[in-house]
């Protein structure tokens, strides 16, 4: 790539990194990614931002606010614009750190649903019930599993002349949209799903002192699979195909789950598709970032970083959590047990994802086993182990399968299986040539 083509990207990086890094260093880094590692320009930029600790790998994407409908909110938004009707509004006086303060709160609604809101610095602002406004630079939080919209001192409210119909709160079962499992996202609310039962289980839980049974399992269609749970026994059996009308989507660590509640209808249907079954579902990292998380997902990309906390670590013998300096946060001073792991960042050209690889897969893909690692550490120190592992895998292609969860740091995968992907350039080229010649 020529210098001229790189200029806008260098300017963009300079803007994000500020005076932390000088231009020469940025150019050198970009050159290394593009000409030595042969990554795309967006992977290169994400790598450079990570290298200089410019926080979140999605910095570019989150610089500007996004516009969302209320049903699309998941409670993690940092900067979001919402156009909505004021369904209810109230001015309250509260006491914060001994000081009296006026806030405006109430309920906002749009075509997709309703949510409560709070304006923390209203000044002279007044809102009219029934009027539509654009609420800009909001942030959202989850409270009791419900999304709350907040406007802090960066927030703005502008009158809007849009007309919005807020639906009645009663849900008509027949109108709830049928969705494919791969398209299920956090905060979707009510859905209708048709799929095949892959597994079932019963769990005992205690709710408000009362023992209860949860009827749970995994259901799949031809696009993906999802965990379901119900408080009542619908007699669901492995292998049968069911339609759940008016199920409800809730998320645990941003992995969506299908809840079958009192207002859901369950019916048996004839199977009309092949469920994805036992195999993992292939996704791009961009798709994962949009969906938030999921079970049994497969990604493939390049290892662009091996993070701190990789290599030889010690775990508490009682709770199995990793410990520092021989001390467990819960169990105090303990005799730690050695373990090997890698915390890697994988970039597939559409985005980046963090992944934690356990001992067995770390040994398999690096060829460094536990006793070799212990040997290295005893001679040259533990830091050498991480450097050795890094040297074996950095800038190699890898295929990962596991469960993806999301938090404030973005999506990360708990890996169930990992495999390096051989880049067989010669045979790829031969195959391509064959295809080209075959089409002549």
Point out which residues bind Zn ion (CB under 5 A).
316, 318-319, 328, 330-331
Say how far apart CA 234 and CA 147 lie, in whole Å: 30
C-beta of 338: minimal distance to Zn ion in Å? 15
Q: Is the dihedral of CA 224, 288, 405, 300 positive or negative?
A: positive
Contacts (Cβ under 8 Å, ≥6 apart) of 17 = 26, 48, 49, 52, 54
C-beta of 330: minimal distance to Zn ion in Å? 5
CB 13 within 8 A of CB 45: yes
C-beta of 334: minimal distance to Zn ion in Å? 6
Longest distance between any two alpha carbons in the chain, whole Å = 81
CB 43 within 8 A of CB 51: no
C-beta of 87: minimal distance to Zn ion in Å? 48
C-beta of 414: minimal distance to Zn ion in Å? 20
Say how far apart CA 43 and CA 304 lie, in whole Å: 9
Phi-psi region of 102 (alpha: psi -120 to 50; beta: other; left: phi over 0): beta
- Of residues 61 and 319, the one with the C-beta less far from Zn ion: 319
- Of residues 119 and 328, the one with the C-beta less far from Zn ion: 328
Phi-psi region of 18 (alpha: psi -120 to 50; beta: other; left: phi over 0): left
- Of residues 333 and 429, the one with the C-beta less far from Zn ion: 333
- Of residues 277 and 332, the one with the C-beta less far from Zn ion: 332
- Of residues 253 and 331, the one with the C-beta less far from Zn ion: 331
C-beta of 40: minimal distance to Zn ion in Å? 43
CB 349 within 8 A of CB 40: yes
Cα–Cα distances in angstroms (integers) from residue 78 to residues 54, 120, 291, in the given order: 17, 15, 17
C-beta of 371: minimal distance to Zn ion in Å? 25
CB 286 within 8 A of CB 350: yes
Cα–Cα distances in angstroms (integers) from residue 104 to residues 44, 126, 149, 354, 374, in the given order: 45, 8, 12, 39, 60
- CA 217 to centroid of chain Cα atoms: 22
- Of residues 78 and 318, the one with the C-beta less far from Zn ion: 318
Cα–Cα distances in angstroms (integers) from residue 256 to residues 97, 136, 241, 410, in the given order: 37, 27, 20, 16
- Of residues 323 and 415, the one with the C-beta less far from Zn ion: 323
- Of residues 329 and 391, the one with the C-beta less far from Zn ion: 329
- Of residues 154 and 331, the one with the C-beta less far from Zn ion: 331
C-beta of 325: minimal distance to Zn ion in Å? 14
What is the DSSP secondary-structure string of 156-176?
Answer: EEEE------PPPSS--GGGS
- Of residues 154 and 321, the one with the C-beta less far from Zn ion: 321
CA proximity to 149, closest of 252, 254, 77, 253? 77
SS3 content of the chain, % helix, strand, coil (to 5): 25, 40, 35
CA proximity to 143, closest of 117, 121, 164, 181? 117
| SS3 (DSSP) at 120 | coil
Give the residue nearest to Zn ion (CB): 316
C-beta of 339: minimal distance to Zn ion in Å? 13
CA proximity to 122, closest of 147, 158, 94, 151? 151
C-beta of 319: minimal distance to Zn ion in Å? 3
C-beta of 416: minimal distance to Zn ion in Å? 24
- Of residues 15 and 331, the one with the C-beta less far from Zn ion: 331
C-beta of 333: minimal distance to Zn ion in Å? 10
- The residue behind tokens 């597939």 is 348
Say how far apart CA 150 and CA 135 lie, in whole Å: 9
- Of residues 136 and 314, the one with the C-beta less far from Zn ion: 314
């Amino acid at each position: 790539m020529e210098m001229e083509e790189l200029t806008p990207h260098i300017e963009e990086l300079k803007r994000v990194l500020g005076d932390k890094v000088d231009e020469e260093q940025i150019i050198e880094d970009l050159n290394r990614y593009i000409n030595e590692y042969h990554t795309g320009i967006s992977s290169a930029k994400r790598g450079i931002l990570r290298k200089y600790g410019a926080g979140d790998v999605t910095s570019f994407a989150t610089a500007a606010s996004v516009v969302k409908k209320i049903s699309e909110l998941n409670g993690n938004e940092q900067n979001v614009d919402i156009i909505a009707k004021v369904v209810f509004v109230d001015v309250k006086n509260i006491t914060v750190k001994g000081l009296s303060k006026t806030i405006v709160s109430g309920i906002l609604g749009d075509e997709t649903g309703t949510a409560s809101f709070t304006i923390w610095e209203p000044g002279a602002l007044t809102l009219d019930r029934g009027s539509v406004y654009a609420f800009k630079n909001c942030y959202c939080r989850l409270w009791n599993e419900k999304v709350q919209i907040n406007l802090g001192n960066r927030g703005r409210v502008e009158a809007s002349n849009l007309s919005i119909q807020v639906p009645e709160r009663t849900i008509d079962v027949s109108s709830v949209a049928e969705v494919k499992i791969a398209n299920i996202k956090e905060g979707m609310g009510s859905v209708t799903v048709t799929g095949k039962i892959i597994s079932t289980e019963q769990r005992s839980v205690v709710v408000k002192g009362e023992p209860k049974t949860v009827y749970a399992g995994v259901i799949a269609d031809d696009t993906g699979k999802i965990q379901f749970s119900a408080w009542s026994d619908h007699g669901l059996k492995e292998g049968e195909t069911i339609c759940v009308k008016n199920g409800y989507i809730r998320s645990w660590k941003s992995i969506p789950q299908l809840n079958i509640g009192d207002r859901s209808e369950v019916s048996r249907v004839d199977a009309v598709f092949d469920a994805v079954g036992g195999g993992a579902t292939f996704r791009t990292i961009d798709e994962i970032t949009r969906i938030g998380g999921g079970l049994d997902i497969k990604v493939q990309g390049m290892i662009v970083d091996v993070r701190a906390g990789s290599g030889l670590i010690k775990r508490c013998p009682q709770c199995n959590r990793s410990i520092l300096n021989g001390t467990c946060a819960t169990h105090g001073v303990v005799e730690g047990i050695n373990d090997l792991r890698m915390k890697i960042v994988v970039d597939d050209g559409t985005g980046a994802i963090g992944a934690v690889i356990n001992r067995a897969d770390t040994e398999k893909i690096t060829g460094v086993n536990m006793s070799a690692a212990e040997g290295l550490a005893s001679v040259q120190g533990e830091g050498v182990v991480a450097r050795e592992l890094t040297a074996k895998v950095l800038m190699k292609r890898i295929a990962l399968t596991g469960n993806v969860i999301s938090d404030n740091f973005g999506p990360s995968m708990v890996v169930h299986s990992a495999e390096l992907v051989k880049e067989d350039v010669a045979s790829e080229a031969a195959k391509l040539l064959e295809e080209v010649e075959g089409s002549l």
